[in-house]
Structure formats: structure tokens, C-alpha cells
Amino acid sequence: MVPGPSEHGIQADVVFVIEGTAINGAYLNDLKTNYLIPTLEYFSQGSIEDREYISE
């Protein structure tokens, strides 16, 4: 993540998880808990608030 100038006022974390086989669909929650959230916290340099996550 590259932080932008503060005058923009909007900062967003965007993560794409692509799973093309549908075999790992049952593990999306585990991927979020064990990989995505720790990665976002690492690059955000702190904890992130609990948010709603969607998958399509």
C-alpha cells in the first residue's frame, strides 16, 4: 500500500482473492483470518477495524 497525500482524504485497502477452482471456497474464512487480515495489518502498520467482507 502506498499512502497518498492527505488532501485526498480517502484511503482504502483493496485485496483481491482469486480462487478459480471452487475447491477452496470452503476455506475463504480461513484465508481471511490467517492471511488477508494479517497482511493488511502489516502494511497498515496497525490493527484494522472489523468490517464486512463480501465474496462473489
pLDDT at 7: 63
Distant-in-sequence, close-in-space partners of 37: CB < 8 Å, separation ≥ 6: 48
**What was the pLDDT predicted at 50?**
64
Domain boundaries, the chain: 11-44
pTM: 0.48
What's the average pLDDT block by block, 10 residues per block, for the chain (56 residues)? 60 70 76 83 78 59
pLDDT value at position 54? 61
